[in-house]
């Protein structure tokens, strides 16, 4: 599936908020020990990323020099320039493809999931339980089951090797519908009733009352969808053909062969793929973490 | 994010739907309104989720080679073959299942315990807590392709940073992290822990914050030390969260593909070729899609079974 | 509603099941002649030239367009593994490029799948002559009585040697070993100076097995029987070949658990004296390293015969739903041009397939390439059997790897691989017979 991230856990948040109860550390030694532990762990987490950045500014020789040197002895943008100059690795094109795909995909998820979640939360209609149960049931089916049939379906639609193969198939976000439906159901109905009395129709209520109240969950879902699409790897690897059409993760994986030991160029590619998401994450980490945190809370 | 981890929460949601309690006083709209709202989603859902789920099963009952002019119906033969001793496909499939199994057994305990420790640390009140939480979570937002490229470089036996430092520490022999047993498993598990521990920590953390502070006070009154407090208050209170994390982590580990594909290419001699990797090879590289689909369904069935067991276990404990 | 949704889904499935997509192989190439002289046209050319060979091919394409301004060629290079997955799918889905380049050992497979087309209608227009090629190369494009591909080059595995390392060990850098006695003597001399002279890769899906193939042929063995129904690599010659490889490690001439890139890096750092490998992969790679003193010679003769694994890049035309005579004419124009100018391709490392090119003075100027060409009459190709590359890379090579990693005795590894191969060979025979 398009945004299927078979490598990683997926999220199923609930809307129950967390009650923050924090425990104090014990005494000065305790605090120092705590900081020491956290710092060591942070180094383990951050060092590889810094090494990636550092290597991307090294010369090919320095990249494999021993002992390791953290500050490039002769800073160089060779890695970046050789990558950009390479007709076989149109990295900027990949970057643009990835952004386009992730944005379109995210928009499609938000529009379809919120529209579907609203009637499931607020309206009575024939088949509602069945539809909702079906959606929930698919949360239980591992994504790789869809791999081969969807390949054939996308082929039949003549979508192979086009961005639609990445944007649309994964956009049926059962998780998104479930997540937003729970939130919509928790909203007070008084506001909607007032709008109804004012003569608004359902669609107006949805766009003018419900959606503006749902910015936080929409942001969470949006960010998670964006990340899922941006990082997807397996599916683009198989449905895209032309190097020009690849997304960054799929494209980067092809660098392994051609740049076997040109580490500055490879790390430049890796840095290009990670810096945008790390910056995005820095700004929206609240939503991401909130979304993940809710997933485990008792339902 | 169509993918699909069985979790307890939605099940309860199903139950509540059956009970017929979506909101308190639903308005009765015009008959077609809800369907109009649902239509765009359902169109995609039916085409790319519902249809393929059934279509895949249909494929698995055929000798579905992409290049053959006909795809003859073969009944359950693709499944039977997976259980025929001596058949090459069976050998390779179960070898890949074994690789997946090894990865699950090695990675899941670490991904349960380390993030819990991390969450306990982060659950204290101190300056910079949000910052550290974000740092630990950060690798998770990077895709597996970046993780693969980065660690392939770091773990290179001859030129990698890891062996570079080990040599400085006086280790004479270079460790073949990505090419020989058992190191390949150490690498794959280690990288996965590095990559995803922040995710599990954040889930645990939310659970810890939900634990009633009074319980700790009560334990203190009883004269419990930190260890007994942990065993008698924290763990029991976290049980639902722990089971949720367990289910999720088992599934994520069983779905492992990218790490092996990028770091070890399944080497040495297919020891680290996981089930998903093998299925993708058979189905989308060799185009023996019927066989590939049969393997997907078998693996999916196993995973659903595991989730169901976890779920049953969770329900029993809650009662 | 359930009935509604279910019906929708089922309708979708019925629709899909009704239109499986076999390759429509009724289309045939039109007869064409002469150079293309129509309006500007852009051709699509796919291949796996993602390494140092890619830029060389792109330069050639530019030279061609300079000579034939009406024809522009867009080249898409993706790693070979992805190429063999993607291009057949693209043909089936009607996204096929006009032409491509592929390995000789994949031609039969793709011919059987009918995703490429027989070139027989073009033989005259291309001016193909049997006498221009070595018999094994000429024959490598013929399958089931039809010509499917046009050989561009050949890349025999050769002995790359680090002159400085040999000198350090008191060996003559101008006289690389040519037979088993000399080779083992050199390795022993190197070992006495604490240099492991032949880093033998045990982990590398591509390169590991090719040394074995060369040795098996040198020992007088064959990989498969004539029709590709049975694997013979587990017989005596194969066992001796693998045991000799194993002895390199056992005698301390090679470290254990080496990967292809380890051996390469060690060679570049003057820690390794010999690399067995193809000129396409190594000549430009090694030339890039400043201050590396190396040369190349044909593989030493370890067994009773001379033989070296070789591959060959070959041009193929992808099957189209409909062939446009203009496009075909333009492709033929290019192929004719590159066959006459393949000396330019030799810069990428491989030896041109057309023997007359090897007589040109410009070829002698390419020192490394002409040293490789000295051994070219002894090259061997995989047999022309559909699906054979898969048997080699998914069954035989991993078995070689296992044995070299010391996980299993050579004879046992080969026996196990022979048994596994029998399943795949049989499946291939049935499958590709049906596909015909």
Bridge partners of C143, per DSSP, are C146
Cα–Cα distance list, B137 to A286, B121, B133, B198, C158 (Å): 11, 14, 6, 4, 50
Task: Determine, yes or no, domain membership for A299.
Answer: no
Among the residue ranges A70-74, B58-62, C249-253, the one predicted with the least confidence is A70-74
The CATH number covering residue A220 comes to 1.10.3720.10
What was the pLDDT predicted at A6? 35
Distance CA C298, CA C133 (A): 19
Which residue does chain A place closest to B152, by CA atoms? Answer: A256
Which of B68, B157, B286 is facing C22, going by the closest CB pair?
B68
Complex confidence, ipTM = 0.83
Per the structure, the complete domain to which residue A268 belongs is given by 23-86+259-273
What residues have CB less than 8 Å from B72, skipping those under 6 apart?
B62, B63
- CATH number of C25-152+312-341, picked from 3.30.420.40, 3.40.50.300, 3.40.50.970, 3.40.190.10: 3.40.190.10
Which residue does chain B place closest to C398, by CA atoms? Answer: B269
CB spacing of A126 vs C86 below 8 angstroms: no
How many Å lie between the alpha carbon of B195 and the closest alpha carbon of chain C? 26
Residue B91, burial from CB neighbour count under 10 angstroms (0-12, 13-18, 19+): middle
State the CB neighbour count (10 A cutoff) for residue B114: 16
CB spacing of B135 vs A46 below 8 angstroms: yes
CB spacing of B203 vs A151 below 8 angstroms: no
CB spacing of C431 vs B287 below 8 angstroms: no
Residue A98 sits in the same domain as residue A222: yes
Residue A73 sits in the same domain as residue A218: no
CB spacing of B70 vs C20 below 8 angstroms: yes
How many Å lie between the alpha carbon of C330 and the closest alpha carbon of chain A? 21
pLDDT digits (tens, 9 = 90+) for C209-246: 999 999 999 999 999 998 888 999 999 999 999 999 99
Check CB contact of C434 with chain B, cutoff 8 Å.
yes
What residues have CB less than 8 Å from B319, skipping those under 6 apart?
none
CB spacing of C12 vs B270 below 8 angstroms: no
Local confidence band at C24 (pLDDT 50, 70, 90 cut-offs): low
Helix B8-18 with A128-138: angle, nearest 10 deg = 170
How many Å lie between the alpha carbon of A12 and the closest alpha carbon of chain C? 25
What was the pLDDT predicted at A25? 52
CB spacing of B28 vs A48 below 8 angstroms: no
Task: Determine, yes or no, domain membership for A2.
Answer: no
The continuous run of DSSP H or E covering C277 comes out as strand C274-277
Contact C203, C260 (CB under 8 A): yes
Burial A138-155 (b: 16+ CB within 10 A, else e): bbbbbbbbbbbbbbbbbb
Residue A66 sits in the same domain as residue A28: yes
Q: Is pTM beyond 0.95 here?
A: no
Query: Which residues of A have a CB under 8 Å from any CB of C?
Result: 64, 87-88, 126-128, 130-131, 134, 152-153, 155-156, 158, 160-161, 237-238, 241-244, 254, 257-258, 260-261
Which of C5, C21, C58 is facing A87, going by the closest CB pair?
C58
The continuous run of DSSP H or E covering A193 comes out as helix A190-197
Which of B2, B50, B202 is facing A170, going by the closest CB pair?
B2
Distance CA A16, CA A45 (A): 30
Contact A235, A4 (CB under 8 A): yes
**Two domains, one topology: C25-152+312-341 and C157-310+386-435:** yes
Which value, in Å, is the radius of gyration of the alpha carbons in chain C? 23
Cα–Cα distance list, A231 to A250, B136, B258, C78 (Å): 9, 18, 11, 20
Residue A193 sits in the same domain as residue A151: yes
What's the 3-state SS for C299-363? CCECCCCCCEEEECEEEEEECCCCCCHHHHHHHHHHHHHHHHCCHHHHCCCCEECCHHHHCCHHH
Contact list in B for residue A196 (CB cut-off 8 A) is: 27
Average pLDDT over residues A102-111: 96
β-pairing verdict for C313-317 and C150-151: antiparallel
How many Å lie between the alpha carbon of A105 and the closest alpha carbon of chain C? 23
CB spacing of C5 vs A134 below 8 angstroms: yes
Bridge partners of C295, per DSSP, are C161
Residue A63 sits in the same domain as residue A99: no
Check CB contact of B158 with chain C, cutoff 8 Å.
yes
Cα–Cα distance list, C144 to C111, C132, C384 (Å): 9, 22, 10
Contact A251, A243 (CB under 8 A): yes
DSSP C122: G
Average pLDDT over residues C35-60: 90
CB spacing of C424 vs B180 below 8 angstroms: no
Distance CA B46, CA B39 (A): 10
Which of A108, A151, A296 is facing B206, going by the closest CB pair?
A296
pLDDT digits (tens, 9 = 90+) for C187-206: 999 999 999 999 999 876 56
Cα–Cα distance list, B280 to A139, B71, C250, C284, C356 (Å): 21, 19, 37, 34, 45
Residue A159 sits in the same domain as residue A58: no
State the CB neighbour count (10 A cutoff) for residue C160: 28
State yes or no: pLDDT of C171 exceeds 60. Answer: yes
What was the pLDDT predicted at B316? 66
Task: Determine, yes or no, domain membership for A10.
Answer: no
Give the percent of chain C with pLDDT over 90.
68
Residue A269 sits in the same domain as residue A253: no
Residue A268 sits in the same domain as residue A246: no
Domain boundaries, chain C: 25-152+312-341, 157-310+386-435
CATH 1.25.40.10 fits C157-310+386-435, yes or no: no
Task: Determine, yes or no, domain membership for A251.
Answer: yes
CB spacing of C77 vs A127 below 8 angstroms: no
Residue A46 sits in the same domain as residue A104: no
pLDDT digits (tens, 9 = 90+) for A246-298: 898 888 887 766 566 678 888 999 998 899 889 988 888 887 787 777 665 43
Laid out side by side, the sheet with C153-156 consists of C351-352, C153-156, C308-311, C379-380
DSSP C32: -
Distance CA C214, CA C351 (A): 18
**What domains appear along chain B, each with residue ranges and CATH number?**
53-318 (1.10.3720.10)
Return residues 195-234 of A near B (CB < 8 Å).
196, 202, 206, 224-225, 227-228, 230-234
Task: Determine, yes or no, domain membership for A151.
Answer: yes
Task: Determine, yes or no, domain membership for A71.
Answer: yes
Residue A192 sits in the same domain as residue A156: yes
Task: Determine, yes or no, domain membership for A1.
Answer: no
CB spacing of C261 vs A156 below 8 angstroms: no
Cα–Cα distance list, C257 to C20, C204, C254, C261, C363 (Å): 46, 10, 9, 12, 38
CB spacing of C203 vs B179 below 8 angstroms: yes
Per-residue pLDDT of chain B (319 residues; tens, 9 = 90+): 333 333 334 444 443 443 344 444 445 557 889 999 999 999 999 999 999 999 999 999 998 887 777 778 888 999 999 998 878 889 899 999 999 999 999 999 999 999 999 999 888 888 888 899 899 999 988 988 899 999 999 998 877 899 989 988 888 888 889 888 899 999 999 999 999 999 899 889 888 888 888 888 888 888 878 888 888 888 888 888 888 888 889 988 998 998 999 898 887 778 899 999 999 999 988 888 999 999 999 999 999 898 888 778 766 655 4
Residue A43 sits in the same domain as residue A55: yes
Task: Determine, yes or no, domain membership for A154.
Answer: yes
Of the candidates A205, A223, A203, A214, the one whose C-alpha atom is nearest the C-alpha of residue A109 is A223
CB spacing of C262 vs B54 below 8 angstroms: no
Residue B4, burial from CB neighbour count under 10 angstroms (0-12, 13-18, 19+): buried
How many Å lie between the alpha carbon of C112 and the closest alpha carbon of chain B? 9
Residue A171 sits in the same domain as residue A94: yes
Distance CA B246, CA B223 (A): 31
């Amino acid at each position: 599936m398009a945004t299927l991230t078979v490598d990683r856990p997926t999220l199923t948040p609930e809307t129950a908020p967390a009650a923050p109860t924090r425990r104090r550390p014990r005494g000065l030694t305790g605090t120092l020990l705590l900081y020491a532990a956290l710092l060591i762990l942070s180094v383990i987490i951050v060092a590889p990323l810094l090494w990636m950045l550092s290597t991307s500014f090294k010369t090919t020789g320095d990249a494999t020099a021993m002992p390791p040197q953290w500050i490039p002895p002769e800073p160089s943008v060779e890695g970046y320039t050789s990558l950009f100059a390479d007709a076989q690795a149109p990295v900027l094109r990949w970057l643009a493809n990835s952004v386009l795909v992730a944005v379109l995909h995210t928009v499609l998820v938000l529009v379809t999931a919120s529209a579907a979640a609203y009637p499931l939360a607020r309206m009575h209609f024939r088949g509602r339980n069945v539809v909702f149960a079906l959606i929930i049931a698919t949360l239980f089916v591992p994504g790789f089951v869809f791999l081969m049939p969807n390949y054939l379906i996308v082929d039949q639609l003549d979508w192979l090797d086009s961005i639609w193969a990445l944007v649309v198939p994964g956009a049926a976000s059962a998780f998104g519908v479930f997540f937003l439906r729970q939130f919509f159901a928790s909203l007070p109905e008084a506001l909607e009733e007032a709008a109804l009395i004012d003569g608004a129709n359902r669609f107006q209520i949805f766009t003018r009352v419900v959606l503006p109240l749902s910015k936080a969950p929409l942001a969470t879902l949006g960010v998670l969808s964006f990340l899922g699409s941006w990082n997807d790897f397996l599916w683009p690897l198989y449905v895209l053909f032309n190097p020009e059409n690849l997304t960054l993760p799929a494209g980067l994986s092809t660098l392994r062969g051609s740049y076997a030991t040109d580490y500055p160029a490879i790390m430049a590619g890796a840095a290009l793929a990670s810096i945008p998401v790390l910056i995005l994450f820095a700004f929206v980490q609240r939503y991401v973490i909130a979304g993940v945190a809710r997933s485990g809370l008792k339902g | 994010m169509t993918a699909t981890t069985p979790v307890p929460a939605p099940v309860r949601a199903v139950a509540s739907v059956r009970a017929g309690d979506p909101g308190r006083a639903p308005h009765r709209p015009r008959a077609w309104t809800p369907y109009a709202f649902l239509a765009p989603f359902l169109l995609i859902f039916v085409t790319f989720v519902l249809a393929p789920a059934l279509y895949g099963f249909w494929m698995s009952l055929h000798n579905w080679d992409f290049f053959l002019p006909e795809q003859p119906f073969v009944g359950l033969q693709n499944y039977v073959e997976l259980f025929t001793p001596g058949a090459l496909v069976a050998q390779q499939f179960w070898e890949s299942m074994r690789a997946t199994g090894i990865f699950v057994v090695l990675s899941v305990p670490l991904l349960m315990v380390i993030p819990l420790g991390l969450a306990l640390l982060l659950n204290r009140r101190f300056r910079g807590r949000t910052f550290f939480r974000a740092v630990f979570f950060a690798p998770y937002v990077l895709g597996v392709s970046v993780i693969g490229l980065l660690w392939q470089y770091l773990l290179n036996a001859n030129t990698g940073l890891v062996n570079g430092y080990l040599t400085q520490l006086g280790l004479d022999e270079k460790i073949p992290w990505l090419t020989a047993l058992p190191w390949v498993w150490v690498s794959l598990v280690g990288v996965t822990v590095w990559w995803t521990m922040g995710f599990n920590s954040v889930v645990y953390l939310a659970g810890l914050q939900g634990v009633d502070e009074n319980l700790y006070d009560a334990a203190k009154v009883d004269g419990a030390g930190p260890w007994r407090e942990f065993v008698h208050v924290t763990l029991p209170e976290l049980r639902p969260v722990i089971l949720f994390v367990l289910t999720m982590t088992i599934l994520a580990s069983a779905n492992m593909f990218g790490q092996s594909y990028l770091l070890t290419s399944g080497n040495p001699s297919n020891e680290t070729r996981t089930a998903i990797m093998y299925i993708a090879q058979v189905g989308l590289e060799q185009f023996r899609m019927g066989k590939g689909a049969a393997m997907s369904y078998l693996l999916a069935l196993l995973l659903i079974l595991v989730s169901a067991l976890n779920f049953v276990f969770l329900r029993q404990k809650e009662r | 509603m359930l009935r509604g949704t279910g019906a929708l889904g089922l309708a979708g499935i019925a629709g899909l099941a009704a239109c499986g997509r076999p390759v429509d192989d009724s289309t045939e190439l039109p007869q064409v002649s002469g150079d293309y002289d129509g309006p500007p046209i852009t051709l699509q050319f796919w291949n796996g030239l993602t390494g140092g060979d890619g830029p060389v091919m792109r330069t050639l394409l530019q030279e061609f367009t300079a000579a034939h301004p009406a024809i522009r060629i867009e080249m898409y290079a993706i790693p070979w593994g992805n190429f063999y997955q993607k291009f057949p799918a693209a043909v089936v889905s009607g996204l096929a490029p006009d032409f491509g380049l592929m390995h000789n050992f994949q031609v039969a497979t793709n011919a059987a799948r009918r995703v490429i087309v027989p070139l027989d209608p073009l033989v005259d227009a291309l001016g193909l002559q049997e006498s221009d090629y070595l018999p094994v190369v000429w024959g490598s494009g013929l399958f089931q009585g039809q010509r499917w591909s046009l050989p561009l080059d050949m890349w025999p595995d050769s002995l790359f040697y680090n002159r400085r390392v040999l000198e350090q060990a008191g060996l003559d850098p101008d006289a690389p070993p040519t037979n088993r006695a000399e080779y083992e003597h050199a390795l022993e001399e190197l070992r006495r100076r604490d240099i492991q002279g032949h880093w033998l890769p045990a982990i590398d899906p591509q390169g590991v097995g090719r040394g074995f193939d060369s040795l098996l042929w040198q020992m007088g063995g064959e990989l498969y029987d004539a029709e590709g129904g049975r694997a013979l690599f587990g017989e005596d010659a194969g066992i001796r070949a693998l045991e000799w490889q194993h002895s390199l490690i056992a005698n301390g001439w090679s470290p254990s658990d080496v990967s292809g890139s380890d051996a390469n890096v060690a060679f570049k750092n003057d820690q390794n004296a010999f690399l067995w490998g193809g000129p396409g992969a190594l000549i430009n790679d090694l030339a890039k390293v400043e201050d590396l003193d190396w040369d190349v010679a044909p593989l030493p003769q370890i067994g009773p015969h001379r033989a070296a694994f070789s591959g060959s890049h070959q041009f193929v035309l992808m099957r189209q739903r409909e062939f446009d005579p203009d496009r075909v004419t333009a492709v033929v124009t290019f192929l004719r041009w590159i066959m006459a100018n393949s000396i330019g391709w030799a810069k990428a490392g491989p030896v041109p397939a057309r023997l007359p090119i090897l007589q040109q003075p410009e070829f002698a100027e390419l020192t490394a390439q002409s040293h490789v060409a000295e051994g070219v009459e002894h090259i061997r190709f995989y047999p022309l059997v559909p699906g054979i590359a898969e048997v080699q890379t998914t069954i035989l090579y991993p078995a070689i790897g296992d044995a070299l990693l010391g996980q299993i005795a050579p004879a046992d590894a080969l026996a196990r691989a022979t048994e596994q191969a029998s399943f795949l060979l049989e499946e291939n025979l049935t499958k590709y017979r049906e596909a015909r």
